[in-house]
Structure 1
Amino acid sequence: MKHLYFVLFLLLVLSCQKKANDDSAVLIKTKPIPKIQVEANAIEFDSALVVLYENQRLLEFYRATGFKTVWQSASNRKVILNAIKESDKEGLFPENYQLKSLTSFEKKHPVLKEKELVTYDLLLTLNTQLFLTHLKTGKLNAKEIYSNWDIEINPFDVNTVLAEAFTKKEMAFVVNECKPNAFVYNQLKVALQQIEEYPDVDFTPIAFTEKIVANDTNVKVIAVKKRLKYWKDFNSSDSLTAIYDEKTVAAVKRFQERHGLAPDGVLGVGTIEALNFSKANRKKQIIANLERWRWFQIIPDTDYVIINIPDYKLTVVENQDTTITQKVVVGTVKRRTPVLTSYLRTVVLNPTWTIPPTILKEDVVPAMKRNRNYLSNKNILIYDSNNNVVAPENWNPAKPHNYRYVQEPGPNNTLGEMKILFPNHHSIYLHDTNHRNLFGLHNRSLSSGCIRVEKPLELAGYFLNHSEKWSKGKIDSVVGTRKTHYVKIEKKYNIYIWYWTAWSQKGELHFRKDIYDYDLALYDKLRS
């Protein structure tokens, strides 16, 4: 009984301490796991030793072992130590898992005393739990970092997984199973290996003053050629002159394609900005993307829509084949398109547009105060709480939120001729636009958060083609009525609005501009 009281006292004291711990799951209640069959030469130890680690997950694990050691097998230890040692290939950091201490214990393993073996066992389990959890679900909690991201991380019970590894003697298999298996994640690991092959060079920034076009002579072209040679886009053995010749233009176009820039061969501000990125920063970008893909998890279905925000691209995948690719316009830095997962629910033809609160506050109210006919010029009606239309001259600027502002269907409607709804907490959707010229721009971070699609009726027709009632002719006919029509999407399509700025494709590194400045900030959090 004295021993029991001592353990309870320790639990009480330790639970009140504010000591930091690398494990985000500290003191979170976990479900008990089945009893783990330990080897005959396992060492039994006092449960109070586990309590001192202040880690509920560790306590639950060793409770299942009967408070006996589990790492007697040299092969199991070798698998985990090697995996932790090579965790940098996954964009993780070996030092986060006390690799130096673990390696030191392992070297002395044959001569370790019983007490030291127990300490090593606890330390190895603790860091294995942490490593496998980071590998499976990411090191950081996306919801704590981004308030406008809706990511559902699949529950991961590391103790059950680890218990299975010991029971079935499949430690290597379990480690591999914890690694994300998404194609882009694996290509990012290739990109991480590729970036390491580049020499460590400090880039002197190339200043942008004016555009440089084919056949120009400019001293900056020499620096551009050196940078292109570094990134293997330019392999000419010609002397590095200041002439922006044909070979250099071709190399710049290759570089621009890899960076999602308009491949026009013009040395403009966007191309110079991309050329100024160093190896170190590109590596950080790749590591940040690997972490995000651990959050995104594996896409579980065969039919889905995926939107990569910084690439301004929508892709429809059907039976694991790409069937549609369209350009999109996404939110500005101030009104960012959120990262989320949902499913397509409804196509709305000839939609009305109700002005959302942010646009009302920041755009409409100031404009109405300047010009009372601002809304009527845009075919937007003002409704009071009784659903009565309010004349612009009777609108009360002191109480703008007492009204509803609705733009009627028509050619000038902000949402164009179509929108596609999917459940989310941010009131965003896919939609057409009355500004078709935007799709000809390279930088398409221009919306208020919703996503404008390049070919809206083609997209709507694709999702409705599972219903015989909705042929192209029928869709065109309904659009021609200028009356709002709601159509349920019968087939299940998940939609993934995600954010990634780096990958490897056919052996080449590809990068996109980090339009919301997520990458380096995320990398710093990973390192802290």
Structure 2
Amino acid sequence: MGTVLAVLVGLPGTVLGDTPSAGDRASVPVAAQIERLVEDAGSELQAFYALRDHRPAWHDRETVAAFAAALHTLDGDGLRPADYRPDALVAGHRQADASEQPGEQARFDLHATRMLMTALEHLQRGKVDPSGLETHWEVPVEAPALDPAAISRAIDGQRFEQAFAEARPSYAPYERLRTGLARYRNIERLGGWEPFPQEPRVLRPGDVDDAVVLLRSRLAVIGELEVMAANVDAFPEARLETPDLRRYDTTLEAAVKRFQRRHLLEVDGIVGPQTRRALNVPVEARIDQIRVNLERSRWLLHGLPETFVLVDIAGYQLRYFRPNGEVWRSRIVVGRPYRRTPSLRSEITHMTVNPSWTIPPTIRRNDVLPEVRRDLGYLWRERIQVLSPSGQPLDPWEVDWDNPGNVVLRQAPGPHNALGKVAIRFPNDHMVYLHDTPSQGLFSRQQRAFSSGCIRVEGVLEFAQLLFDDTDSGRNIHGLIEAGRTRNVSLGEPVPVILHYWTVNPDEDGELAFRPDIYERDEALLRALDRPLAL
């Protein structure tokens, strides 16, 4: 994105270093107070006022009014304009101006500048600190890159909305979320949508039912306009034929399937309990869902390289943004709600071909040991070796399985190994990675939270070969597998990887896709986002 507000360098207004005007000379007492007060302020405020020779930035009521008006537009980013006290700013300026006390005017000036910087920081990196919400958060949220000189010119030119536009993430998904938020707020203003009947009736293609009329209306509200018939009375001479709105026809079936696909439901065109529940989520809840995902986007969508791997946990999708501009996509399986795949940012450094699997402590304790205690033959069927902490083989019959201590359980390579034929590695504290799987049938499910935290990737061998090719590694994944031995193979250069969690994201058509909140993170984030700002 570059230095924030850099494009504002050509704005009209005060040129720093010019000879002070008559108005500036009149504000010399205020400048002296600002110089005194700013000593106890943060470094960004100090840099801002040093560039202005401590001259006030907010002495003009039109400038304050323009800033207050711009703050109200932050509603379009899912932020709360009330947090930034736009009305109090106008009243505060009026009070400070009327007092003619340099100290009060200086305090107001610092407060208004701090408020502008706060709004810019929130647009750039988010209002909420994610490390306070999510356990083991590992995605660094970089400090915002505010340019004090550009901010000063933005104030003098009263170009606040342009400054906000430069501070926002510049990536298309963020703008599509903003567009979606405006669209759903408009639906809310028009009255939202009528709840779908709650009785346990299932609608199938071919049915004729009064509820089909409501289904058509519900889908039309979110843009599926073709499901509504033309008004034949408006064109009496055109001899239009209107279909029976009570009949569940093929056009409506196609619209229902699109709705199901965007909500990660079974795409069967049947309006059963799950589809009914998704249809009945109030528009206000969808608005909140978009808002929290705008905040998540502000955490992540900055400083992204051209080439990287993005794992969308709640969307069960991996995307590899290749150096040639192509995007390789795949379905994935992620961690169960009680064994969550973490959010993190790292770099893919190497792969393990024909991997063995050292069973992690949690899976060992909760899954494997109960099976072994019931039937020791489980170890032989699953080709699991029992090792000492130093790696020496142990006789399973001599281990006290009620109190096995620190024995290591390792599954041998082979077709039934939980990691399949390849594991793609990146340093992290959670021992998670991308890998193959013998359980290919799970990829056909719409919701795929079945793993113990690691990410299973459909078509992982193709993905591995692309990583080799794009990093000039000179390796052939199929040849390495056929060689039969377990080995670690480094990439020619690391490839950045990001694991993140979105419950709303634009699909390939730009339409918003709403996903189930499988890890129940939305509510806590919404509460934090709506918590009044402490200033």
Superposition TM-score, scaled by structure 1 size: 0.83
**Any residues of structure 2 matched to 1:422-461 within 5 Å, and which?**
422-461=426-465
> Aligned-pair distance for 1:387?
2.3
Range with bigger deviation, 317-326 or 232-241: 232-241
* More relative contact order, 1 or 2 (CA 8 Å, 6+ apart): 2
Deviation, structure 1 residue 200:
2.8
Tell me the CA shift for residue 145 of structure 1: 0.8
Question: What is the SS of the residue equivalent to 2:378?
Answer: coil
| Structure 2 residue 380 is matched with structure 1 residue 395 | no
Counterpart position of 2:174: 185
Distance (Å, rounded) in 1 between the aligned partners of 2:387 and 2:277 = 48
Cα pair 2:64 2:90 within 8 Å, conserved? no
Q: Tell me, yes or no, if the aligned pair for 2:193 and 2:218 is still in contact at 8 Å.
A: no
Q: Secondary structure at the match of 1:411?
A: coil
Q: Offset of 1:274 from its aligned partner?
A: 1.8
Q: 1:218: Cα distance to partner? A: 5.5
d(CA) in 2 for partners of 1:386 and 1:121? 65
Deviation at 1:164, TM superposition (A): 4.3
Task: Report 1:7-86 matches (<5 A).
Answer: 39-42=24-27, 43-44=30-31, 46=33, 50=37, 56=42, 60=46, 64=50, 69-73=56-60, 76-86=63-73
How much has 1:343 moved relative to structure 2? 1.3
Residue 318 of structure 1 aligns to which amino acid in structure 2? R
Letter in 1 for 2:120: L
Quick one: structure 1 residues 487 and 193, their matched pair in 2 at CA, closer, same or farther if it must change by over 3 Å? Answer: same
Stretch moving more, 122-131 or 35-44 = 35-44
SS of 2:409's partner is strand
| Structure 2 letter corresponding to 1:259 | H
Alpha-carbon spacing, 1:112–1:185, altered in 2? closer, same or farther (3 Å): farther
State the alpha-carbon separation in 1 of the partners of residues 115 and 265 from structure 2: 43
Number of equivalenced pairs: 488
One-letter code aligned to 1:40: R
Matches of 1:504 and 1:109, distance apart in 2: 46
Q: Which of these residues, 470, 474, 482, is aligned with residue 484 of structure 2?
A: 482
Do 2:193 and 2:221's aligned partners in 1 also have CA atoms closer than 8 Å? Answer: no
Which has the larger displacement, 313-322 or 130-139? Answer: 313-322
Task: Measure how far apart 1:422 and its partner are.
Answer: 0.8
Unaligned runs of 5+ in 2: 1-15, 230-241
Does 486-495 or 404-413 show the bigger shift?
486-495
User: Does residue 113 of structure 2 align to residue 125 of structure 1?
Assistant: yes
> Structure 1 residue 320: deviation in Å?
6.4
Are residue 95 (structure 1) and residue 74 (structure 2) matched?
no
- Once residues 123 and 276 of structure 2 are traced to their aligned partners in structure 1, the CA distance between those partners, rounded to angstroms, is 36
Could you tell me which residue of structure 1 aligns to residue 248 of structure 2?
A: 244
Q: CA deviation at 1:419?
A: 0.8
Q: CA deviation at 1:121?
A: 1.6
The alpha-carbon deviation at position 157 of structure 1 amounts to: 5.9
Q: Contact 2:308 / 2:322 at 8 angstroms: preserved in 1? A: yes
Q: Which deviations, in whole Å up to 9, do the C-alpha atoms of 1:68-87 show, x marking residues without a partner?
A: 53323566545533331211
Tell me what 1:9 maps to. none
Identity %, equivalent residues: 29
- Aligned pairs for 1:298-447 (under 5 A) are 298-319=302-323, 321-447=325-451
Q: 1:386 to 1:325 in 2, by over 3 A?
A: closer
Change in Cα spacing, 1:106 to 1:322, as seen in structure 2 (3 Å) is farther
Name stretches of at least 5 consecutive residues in structure 1 with no aligned partner. 1-34
2:527 to 498, 516, 524: 524
SS of the residue corresponding to residue 206 of structure 2 reads coil
Counterparts in 2 of 1:58 and 1:349: CA distance versus 1, 3 Å: closer
Residues 321 and 327 in structure 2, CA contact (< 8 A), matched pair in contact too: yes
C-alpha distance in 1, partners of 2:199/2:372?
40
Change (3 A) 1:210 1:369: farther
Q: Does residue 143 of structure 1 match 2:134?
A: no
Q: Per-residue deviation at 1:220?
A: 4.6
Deviation string 1:430-466 (CA, Å, 9 cap, x unpaired) is 0000101011111111111111000121111111125
1:196 corresponds in structure 2 to 185
Q: CA 1:103–1:206 in structure 2 vs 1: closer, same or farther (change >3 Å)?
A: farther
Where 2:330 maps in the other structure, the secondary structure is strand
Cα distance in 1 for partners of 2:126, 2:355 equals 40
Superposition RMSD in Å = 3.1
Instruction: Return the letter of the residue paired with 1:499.
Output: Y
Deviations 1:353-395 (A, max 9, x none): 0111111121112222211222221001110134222233222
Paired residues of 2:133 and 2:524 also in contact (CA < 8 A): no
Q: Is the contact between residue 225 and residue 240 of structure 1 (CA under 8 Å) also seen in structure 2?
A: no
- Contact 1:215–1:244 at 8 Å: present in 2 too? yes
SS in 2 for 1:321: coil
Q: Quote the Cα distance in structure 2 between the aligned partners of 1:241 and 1:146.
A: 47
Instruction: Name the SS of the counterpart of 2:493 in structure 1.
Output: coil
Moved more, 96-105 or 55-64: 55-64
